[in-house]
Amino acid sequence: MTASAPPGLGQAVGRIVVDTRGEGLIDVTARIEGWLRGEGCCDGLVTLFLRHTSASLTIQENADRDVQTDLVTALRRLAPEDAGWVHTTEGPDDMPAHVKSMLTGVNLAVPVRRGQMLLGRWQGIFVVEHRAHPQRREIAVHFLGEKSG
């Protein structure tokens, strides 16, 4: 016997492509909110997964850009290019980027209520580019919950 889903319960799967300018944080909050609206998402959970090993996702303050500058500085201190890494095939910034990605993570889950992510007042969702040069990054997006129409 199979159970049927309650009316209005559903899911949506998509992707968001982000072009970076090199090392730094890129606010993708509005793009995710736009995707949720476009998919008719109401109440549920949105899961984000960055499909890369030298960039990451984070929820962080979006009000003062100095926070982003300080975060990049802190990550540089934690994984400097001149640390004597064995893996150097893709350049001196690659292995530190892998370490930074491992520390900060590549997936997030955010509750959604009435089509809006339940982020705090000063929170935004960011792709954190750890490589020095511009990259094209892809976020896999999955919503599970109540949908309209």
- Binned at pLDDT 50, 70 and 90, residue 9 comes out as confident
Beta-carbon count within 10 A of 82 CB = 7
How many angstroms separate the Cα of 139 from the Cα of each of 6, 8, 66?
28, 25, 25
Relative orientation angle of helices 65-78 and 94-104, to the nearest 10 degrees: 120
| Any domain includes 50 | yes
Q: Residue 92 is part of which domain span? A: 21-147
CATH of the domain at 49: 2.60.120.460
Domain tally, the chain: 1
The verdict on residue 5 lying in a domain is no
3 pLDDT above the threshold of 70: no
pLDDT in tens, 16-67: 999 999 999 999 999 999 999 999 999 999 999 999 999 999 999 999 999 9
Whether the CA torsion 58, 59, 62, 66 is positive or negative: it is: negative
Average pLDDT over residues 107-126: 97
Domain contains 131:
yes
94 in any annotated domain = yes
